[in-house]
Structure formats: C-alpha cells, structure tokens
Amino acid sequence: MSGSASSSKNSCSCCLPLFSSSIGRKWIVALTGIVLVLFVIGHLIGNLSIFLGPDAINAYALFLQGLGEILWVIRLFLLACVVLHIWFTITLWRENMKARPQKYAVKNDLQTTSYARLMRLSGLVVLAFVLFHLAEFTWQAFTPEYKTWVDAQGRHDVYRMVIAGFSSPFVSGFYILAIGLLAMHLSHGIASLFQTLGITTAKMRPVFEKGGRTLAWVIFAGYVSIPLAVFFGLLRYPAAACSLCH
Ligand code: HEM
C-alpha cells in the first residue's frame, strides 16, 4: 500500500480493530491480496495441465466439481476476499484524498499518484476480465453449447472449450491484455503487501520488489502460454469434431 492513510473519522468503536483503523484496513487489503495471489498461482498450475492433454485437464475439472460443497465454501471465501480487497482499497484511497491538504507538485507525490492510478485502473480491468471470464467458461453464457460438450468418458470437455474459446483472436487478445494488467497489478502489489505487513527492511526491500516483479511476470508467461499455444496450433482439437476450434 502506498501513501499515508489517516484514521477514519467515521470508524466505529464497536467494530473489530482490524476494520476500524487505517493500519487494520491496510492489513485486510494485504491479507486478501495474498489469498488472491495464491488463487491465481493455483489456478495457473491447474490450467497448465492442458499441456498434458485433454485427459489431464478434464480430470482436473471433474476433481474440482467433485469437491461439491467444499468448492462452494472456497468460492464464497474468494468472493469475500475480492469484495474486501476492493472495498478497503477504495476506503483507504478516499481517506488519503481527504488527508491530503493540497495537490502538491513534488516528484514523490506524482509517483505515488500514478502508482495509485495504475493500481486502481489495472484492478478494475482485472475485475471486468474475471466477470467476462466467468461468463465465458464457468457460466458458459456466450456459447451455451459448451455445456453439452463431453469427452469419451462423459466428463465436461474443458479442453475443447478452452481451445474453442481461444480460437477467437479477439478473445485471446483481450485475455493477453487483461493478464498483462494483472501482472502489472501484482508486480507492484506483491512488494507493497510485504511493506504493509512490516516484513520489509531497507535492505530487503529491493529483494521483495524484484521477487514480486519476477513472480508477476512468471504468472503472466504461464497464463498467456495457453492462448498463444492455441493461436500457434500447438494446442488443437480435431477440426472435424469441433466447428468452433482450429
Ligand atoms: C489462459 C488463462 C486462463 C484459462 C485458460 C482459464 C481457464 C478457466 C476455466 C476452464 C474455468 C472453468 C472451470 C470449470 O468450471 O470447470 C475457469 C474458472 C475461473 N477462472 Fe480462469 N482461466 C484463465 C485465467 C484466469 C485468471 C487470470 C483469473 C483471475 C485473475 C481467473 C479466474 C477464474 C475464476 C475466479 C474462475 C471460477 C472458478 C470457480 O468458480 O470454480 N482465470 N478458468
């Protein structure tokens, strides 16, 4: 988190200390950020199973579906993290704006402002992307026939669905753009959360910054490898069996 956030005037004494102090709210943003980074890494590892072939990714998707109620608990927990992360980011930003007496034109402030702008903008695009992504692959709202695709073993054919989805250069282009913004968000956010949690020392700061950037771009490379592999025909589905695929 960047900038100095003042304690909120309208904080309520009956609330948990975590919610009612500026530091507490920063901690919530940082802790929910960690959960979301872990989800992004876990989801990437699961998605990369597509390179092992249809059986691997379809079995993985079936395993997730088989979790039943546990999957819903995980989904609700993730949703709560997304809501808290966004809500407290906005709250802290508004506190910062109120605490700032004037728009001063020193370089440091400009850097802080453009950093905050980048984090907000990239965060919003990632949110829009996740909603589009859910509509496409989880709710299958754009192509309802995805729901009927099953493999030889009767499992939902996620392999075919992903290849069909990325057969559109527009969809792939949007994914690559959004994942690039996600990487920018993470590249700043990961180092920042170590600072919020007070783990960073002056000596360790460059290490966390470099580590955060490296992790963010490894995540980027992993995710974009899938649409790129479809685009270059490395991942394909027999054309005769799928009119939407290559
Ligand atoms: C190449 C990139 C990606 C691919 C191929 C991909 C693939 C998928 C697929 C196939 C599903 C549906 C699983 C099923 O219902 O069986 C899914 C769900 C999901 N994806 Fe992705 N994904 C990608 C990137 C991302 C990114 C970058 C994020 C987050 C920033 C993300 C967040 C989610 C979420 C939140 C769900 C819903 C999980 C659930 O409710 O079960 N995905 N993804």
What distance in angstroms lies between residue 43's CA and the mean position of ligand 1's atoms? 7
Span 38-66, average pLDDT: 96
Q: What is the pTM of this model?
A: 0.86
Q: Whose CA is nearest to atom 43 of ligand 1?
A: 137
CB 66 less than 6 A from any atom of ligand 1: no
**Average pLDDT, rounded, for the chain:** 85
Span 40-69, average pLDDT: 96
What distance in angstroms lies between residue 89's CA and the mean position of ligand 1's atoms? 24
**Which whole-number Å values give the CA distances from 113 to 4, 87, 140, in the listed order?**
12, 19, 38
156 forms beta bridges with 150
What token pair was written down for 35?
């959960």
Q: pLDDT at position 135, please?
A: 93
Give the lowest-confidence range in 92-96, 146-150, 167-171. Answer: 92-96
What distance in angstroms lies between residue 66's CA and the mean position of ligand 1's atoms? 17
Distance CA 69, CA 137 (A): 20
Residue 19 near residue 119, CB atoms below 8 Å: no
CB 36 less than 6 A from any atom of ligand 1: no
pLDDT band of residue 38 (cuts 50, 70, 90) is very high
